[in-house]
A and B are shown apart, each in its own frame.
Chain A
């Protein structure tokens, strides 16, 4: 699946294509069930992949961005591949740091600001509603019937 309208395919190089699963694997040093994502700086690309990664996550990212836009910022998804037992999600490399990394350097006012932003995001997420006639509980990857790959905890 390629999202041809995403910024990746709309960029200057018209022939730019997503690297293949084999090319991504070649960039990954570790062979484990949860390989760290592969980052390709010059393509502004992060590839999350492995046997525990699900297509449902890629679809979720796409939907959140489409429905909630800037209210809940998520990496832009460029596409995904299923290769053998592994799923590859191609997404925007977000050039930031984790909150964990910067937290202790923030002052109380800045921490409050971050939590205020989070509060607006959680509120926005919680405004999504199910069809009243079709209410259920389930992880997205379970709903898409791929629960062998799911981790709930």
Chain B
């Protein structure tokens, strides 16, 4: 999977990300992407772990559960503020309890962005 950047802001990043599914098409075949408007270009840039799933969160084995460490920071960096939710929600079962009930307790759901995100990621065959 191509990784590019750094990007000068949210819009150049969104343009790049949304272009990935079409990157092998000839210019004449490229189409207007109906999902692109779901990615806002005016959002904040936030520091992001970018792989917050249940296996990267280590907790105490006994007693009241205490988070001991968040691990695997290999993908971390500066991303649009929707990225953390989208990555966390994408790396788990679509209709599972973790995604539906618990992730929203620590990451505000970004459902529009997630819709575009998952279409793109599926199209490029990543994950």
Contact = CB atoms under 8 A, between A and B. Distances in A.
Contact of A152 (B1, B49, B67): B1
Contact of B102 (A94, A111, A135): A111
B66 interface: yes
A110 interface: yes
Given A102-B65, A119-B105, A137 B78 contact: yes
Contacts of B67: 73, 99, 114, 117-118, 121
Contacts of A122: 52, 84, 106-107
Given A98-B58, A113-B64, A121 B70 contact: yes
Contacts of A74: 69-71, 73
Contacts of B84: 122
Interface residues of B, number: 54
Contacts of A42: none
Interface in A4-47: none
A138 B105 contact: no
A37 B66 CA distance: 23
Interface string B37-57: 000000001111110111111
Interface of B: 1, 3-10, 12-13, 45-50, 52-61, 64-71, 73-81, 84, 98, 102, 105-107, 121, 124, 126-127
Interface of A: 52-54, 56-57, 60-61, 64, 72-75, 94-100, 102-103, 106, 110-119, 121-122, 125-126, 128, 130, 135-143, 147, 150-153
